[in-house]
Homo-oligomer: A and B are copies of this chain.
Amino acid sequence: MDSIKAIETLGALAQTTRLDVFKLLVRHEPTGLPAGQIAKQLDVPPNTMSSHLSILSRANLLSSKRESRLIIYRANLATMNAVMAFMLENCCSGDDCAPIANQLERLCQ
């Protein structure tokens, strides 16, 4: 991942509704949720939500597939990993990574 892609990814996440969407979809892995459910759950009009979903998708943070009348969105965790790898490489150094390492030990035993 390069800086341009990282900025798109970070920018996509740096907004209340969109961060909420991503968090929600991470909790619903690996099944995902249909667009309407996401909108209802977060109390946002469906067309507004659609615009946010499209921004997250363009940043490759979401994938989607149609299932009959529903469009199911899923969090793309590979992109999340990629942006975190970018941050570690460019915005971290040596000992300063230690706290993250500890965090990971707890999460991934």
Residue ranges of A at the interface with B (Cβ–Cβ < 8 Å)? 3, 6-7, 10-11, 13-16, 19-20, 22-23, 26, 29, 75, 77-78, 80-81, 84-85, 87-101, 103-104, 107-108
Q: Tell me how far the C-beta of A26 lies from the nearest C-beta in chain B, rounded to whole angstroms.
A: 5
CB neighbours (8 Å) of A81 from chain B are: 92, 96-97, 99-100
12 contacts between A and B (CB under 8 A): A3-B16, A10-B10, A10-B14, A22-B91, A26-B93, A77-B93, A81-B92, A81-B97, A81-B100, A84-B88, A88-B100, A94-B108
Q: Tell me how far the C-beta of A76 lies from the nearest C-beta in chain B, rounded to whole angstroms.
A: 10
CB neighbours (8 Å) of A23 from chain B are: 3, 90-91
